[in-house]
Amino acid sequence: MTLGHDDLIRPLGLEPARAPRRVTLPLGQVFVGFVASMFMALAAYLVFVKDPFGGEPYAIAVVERARRPDPLPPQVPVQQAPDAPDQQASAGTPGQQSAADAERETGVRVVRGGAGETAQGVVIRVPTPPVKLAAAPDRRLVERSRHGSLPRIGADGARPADVYARPAPQTPARVGRIAIVVGGLGLSQSMTSDAVSKLPGPVTLAFAPYGPELERQVARAREDGHEVMLQVPMEPFDYPDNDPGPHTLTASAQPAETLDRLHWVMSRFTGYVGIINYMGARFTSSEPALTPVLKDIATRGLMVLDDGSSPRSLIGSTAQALKLPASRGDTVVDTVPKASAIDDQLARLETIARERGSAIGVASGLPLTVERLVQWSRGLEARGFVLVPVSAAVARPGRS
């Protein structure tokens, strides 16, 4: 064995240090392999995943303008989905409002399509502003009395029945018009508030003269687009066992006393288009008692509606002789306060409107009645009818 110089001088047990090897990577091959792997991964994703955008949140939204508070028209084939989990969670969180609450308060309705590939996206229905009625009281139409303000015909001929009325919709001749008057309001704050907020704007609201906050409640109703009427208490046959309330118009009273009671009732609030009787089977069957009252109403530019509860009422014939705008209700919707009975009377109204062109229904503001009216009104236009204020349905002298 031949020993080199380094071998002779190296200490025993120590190996000579070796220079590290250089590894040269083929960068071109690595890049090509990386690109090929990416394409393979993308191809596999497109093959196994049906929705290439499934990881990205998206929605299709259609914004429609709807009349308040009409429901979705029949031609929109979508169903309202239950509240999403995040909505349900936020509903019970203090200080946080759920989406359902926001929809109820704003009137904006969000209807979501069904799940799956055939989902039809989202329909957002934005309510149109309510119809604006003329401000009340109109100074031209106010007369001072010892009881307060009374309505009158203005010096320019303006009449409260016209100025305070809700504008009537333009409807084709083939469309039946139905007017609904809901009475008994002003006595219960909660019942009145529900009727004002839930019932469609064309429904006319009638207020009794005894509520503690009549001016405020009537103003709220008119702000929401409801035209209003005044309920006048009149003597029934079983009076005083069945007493309509203070200042009831009685058949035995002298005309001066009757008119004084009428003016007290008339002064309770302003902005009404006319009066409707509350009870009054005996009073409305007495022509001597009824005539001074209707004559006073006529000279004040109002209209009158007979609620239709008494077959012996002379309101129609007496008003015609005085050329007073007047009509009679075709049915009392909730004489029997049951859902099925109310629905039957509403169907009867449709039959009358189909045959005659128009119909008038009278109802109370009971919660059940309001609920059935709301449900009934939702499909009214689809059935070929339109809801109108009672001022548009009352017969006027010289008009059909």
For 23-70, how does the pLDDT look when each residue is reduced to its tens digit (9 = 90+)? 555 666 666 676 677 767 666 665 555 554 555 554 555 555 555 444
pLDDT over 70 percentage in the chain: 68
Q: Which tokens hold the place of 206?
A: 């009638």
pLDDT by residue (tens digit) across 285-307? Answer: 999 999 999 999 999 999 999 99
Instruction: Average the pLDDT over 260-278 and give the result.
Output: 98
Structure-derived torsion over alpha carbons of residues 72, 343, 360, 201, reported in degrees to the nearest 10: -30
Inter-CA distances, 365 with 131, 263, 271, 373, Å:
22, 25, 20, 10
Q: Residue 21 carries which side chain, given as an amino acid letter?
A: R
Show the domains of the chain with their CATH numbers.
Answer: 61-71+97-129 (no CATH), 139-392 (3.20.20.370)
User: Whose CA is closest to 151, among 51, 256, 271?
Assistant: 271
| Neighbouring-strand partners of residue 151 | 142
The pLDDT score that the predictor gives to residue 110 is 57
Ranges of beta strands (E only) in the chain are 61-66, 109-112, 122-127, 142-144, 149-151, 176-185, 204-207, 228-234, 272-279, 303-306, 326-328, 331-332, 358-364, 385-388
Quote the pLDDT of residue 70: 46
**pLDDT tens per residue across span 343-399:** 999 999 999 999 999 999 999 999 999 999 999 999 999 999 999 999 999 987 754
Taking a C-beta distance cutoff of 8 angstroms, is the pair 246, 210 a contact? Answer: yes
Q: What is the mean pLDDT of residues 90-117?
A: 52
Residue 215, pLDDT score? 96
pLDDT for residue 188 is more than 90: yes
- Tokens standing for residue 260: 């004084």
